Amino acid sequence: MIVRQRYLDRLMRFRDRDLIKVVTGVRRCGKSTLLDMAREHLRAEGVPEGRLLEFKMESMEFDGMGDYRDLYAIVRERAEGVERPYLFFDELQQVEGWERAVNSLRVDLDCDIYVTGSNAYLLSSELSTMISGRYVEVEMLPLTFAEYLDFRGAEWFPAGGPQADLVRLRDGSYGTLSAMLDQYRRYGGLPFLALSEPDAAEHRAYLKSLHDTVIVRDILERDRRRGARRLTNPDLLRRLCSFLADNVGNENSTNSIAGTIRAEGARVANETVDAYVSALCEAYLFYPVRRYDIRGRELLKTGGKHYVVDPGLRSYLQGYRDADQGRVFENIVYLQLLYDGWDVSVGKLRSGEVDFVATRGPERVYVQATEDMTDPGTMARELAPLRAVRDAYPKMVVAMRGSYPTDVDGIRILSAADFLLHRA
């Protein structure tokens, strides 16, 4: 098991606190494995095995379980006589009314609770009402580029040396960071696939399964379960998913998306498009990013962009074309900022925009992402929005390819590897 330390640290930060720890994120990003990591961490710290109570609800052990009352009774029975048990619930959505059992266990039993499950039943927008607000959410993403290298068993060399772009792989062979980044850009960072050399047929089959499962089970079934009956057209849901993937990094709105779909011959209302796009975001397939007026210092209600949760999903949806590499790289930079704990918006200026305005508490940084700016005109175009920002917060350009000065007029220039691996 390859430990994803950042998420484990976030989860353990709330250990032994009177909060239900809920792990969320897109399917197959490693949520269940994170619970395994947490149990192993507690074992290593000396917590007796008898205090680590695991409930994998897809196991035959719980086949035929009724509702939350049965779950509550089983947990109380197993926890009888155990001093402050740790309760780990995986795929908890299998139990009707599970939230009532979890809420009661938190109140009735001196315990520490950890939960994960299907996105159809564990959505950020509903957690506060389902588990009485006494929870903390740990949201997971697929692998970052650094994590992808870890899963591939790669070791890379420090920046600045003659071997700075070299990578030594698990089998003793060598490659380059730029080649590995191209793999990551094309195939993404779903943990199961990242354990071995990418295989196009395997990737296509795995992503088809993921895509279809999220569309049909996590979105359509959830809508039926809630009795909303707003989402009834799987073909429209797939078309919108493909549209958003094709337009990562492009500004869009409900009106513009609906107009494009209608131009292709579909009869669809703006309100319907808004509901379907919201559902895709709630299932963690896409992340909406609002625009921020840099001079007015306020978030804007209109416009904005969407970024896909994993570049490999975009490749699958777009037929593994290598077009628009710059926008895919912009997507990767966005995901890295998100992973690093930044709140991210798109910076609006009177003339032009800054790709990302990232804030984290009192910190702020302005970030441009570009595929290549070896052409002087391209460099001038990428630097212009940052030069137009008049405050003193740090500004940087992250370039996927090319070699550049490290500083231009106080603006840092970073290579993709230096930014994604925190080497500078």
Co-location of 117 and 46 in the same domain:
yes
Nearest C-alpha neighbor of 95 from the set 62, 125, 124, 128: 62
Cα 215 to Cα 96, 239, 241, 243, distances in angstroms? 21, 11, 9, 14
Co-location of 109 and 46 in the same domain:
yes
Write down the H helix ranges in 15-67: 31-44
Query: How many CB atoms are located within 10 Å of the residue 257 CB?
Result: 21
Is the pLDDT reported for residue 203 higher than 80? Answer: yes
pLDDT digits (tens, 9 = 90+) for 49-88: 999 999 998 888 888 788 899 999 999 999 999 999 999 9
Query: How many CB atoms are located within 10 Å of the residue 11 CB?
Result: 20
pLDDT digits (tens, 9 = 90+) for 263-302: 988 889 999 999 999 999 988 999 999 999 998 889 988 8
Range 181-198 average pLDDT: 95
pLDDT band at 226; cut points 50, 70, 90: low
What's the pTM? 0.94
Least confident stretch, 162-171, 261-270, 344-353: 162-171
User: Residue 18 maps to which CATH number?
Assistant: 3.40.50.12060
Residue 26 to residue 7: CA distance in whole angstroms: 15
Tokens linked to 74: 């089983």
Which residue matches tokens 């809508």?
223
Last residue of a domain, one of 97, 120, 140: 140
Co-location of 348 and 377 in the same domain:
yes
Considering 113-122, 207-216, 290-299, 305-314, the range whose residues carry the highest mean pLDDT is: 305-314
Helix 177-187 vs helix 325-339: crossing angle, to nearest 10: 90
Cα 286 to Cα 246, 252, 362, distances in angstroms? 12, 13, 27
Co-location of 346 and 234 in the same domain:
yes
Q: For residue 22, what pLDDT is reported?
A: 92
Last residue of a domain, one of 202, 221, 246: 202
pLDDT digits (tens, 9 = 90+) for 16-36: 999 999 999 999 999 999 999
Q: For residue 157, what pLDDT is reported?
A: 79
Strand pairing category for 52-56 and 411-415: unpaired
The domain total for the chain is 3
Query: How many CB atoms are located within 10 Å of the residue 235 CB?
Result: 9
Q: For residue 122, what pLDDT is reported?
A: 65
Strand ranges in 52-180 using DSSP code E only, listed in sequence order: 52-56, 86-90, 112-116, 135-140, 155-156, 166-168, 174-176
Nearest C-alpha neighbor of 404 from the set 388, 380, 384, 387: 380
Last residue of a domain, one of 202, 219, 236: 202
Nearest C-alpha neighbor of 87 from the set 52, 63, 58: 52
Range 372-387 average pLDDT: 96
Co-location of 405 and 273 in the same domain:
yes
Range 314-340 average pLDDT: 95
Q: Round the average pLDDT of the chain to a whole number and report it.
A: 92
Q: For residue 402, what pLDDT is reported?
A: 93
CB 383 within 8 A of CB 411: yes
pLDDT digits (tens, 9 = 90+) for 102-119: 999 999 999 999 998 766
Co-location of 104 and 178 in the same domain:
no
Question: How far does CA 85 lie from the centroid of its chain?
Answer: 30
Is the pLDDT reported for residue 120 higher than 60? Answer: no
CB 22 within 8 A of CB 127: yes
Q: Which DSSP symbol is given to 60?
A: G
**Range of 405's domain?**
203-420
Question: 3-class SS at 233?
Answer: coil
pLDDT band at 256; cut points 50, 70, 90: very high
Co-location of 366 and 283 in the same domain:
yes
CB 141 within 8 A of CB 381: no
CB 217 within 8 A of CB 120: yes
Co-location of 299 and 399 in the same domain:
yes
Residue 208 to residue 315: CA distance in whole angstroms: 11
Co-location of 213 and 266 in the same domain:
yes
Query: How many Cα atoms are found within 13 Å in the side-chain-facing hemisphere of 300?
Result: 19
Percent of the chain at pLDDT exceeding 90: 74
Range 226-235 average pLDDT: 77
Is the pLDDT reported for residue 391 higher than 90? Answer: yes
Co-location of 50 and 180 in the same domain:
no
Least confident stretch, 133-142, 158-167, 174-183, 412-421: 158-167
Cα 179 to Cα 42, 174, 184, 396, distances in angstroms? 38, 11, 9, 24
Co-location of 416 and 330 in the same domain:
yes
Q: Which DSSP symbol is given to 93?
A: G
CB 286 within 8 A of CB 309: yes
Helix 254-263 vs helix 234-246: crossing angle, to nearest 10: 110
Strand pairing category for 298-299 and 174-176: unpaired
Residue 43 to residue 50: CA distance in whole angstroms: 10
Co-location of 124 and 151 in the same domain:
no
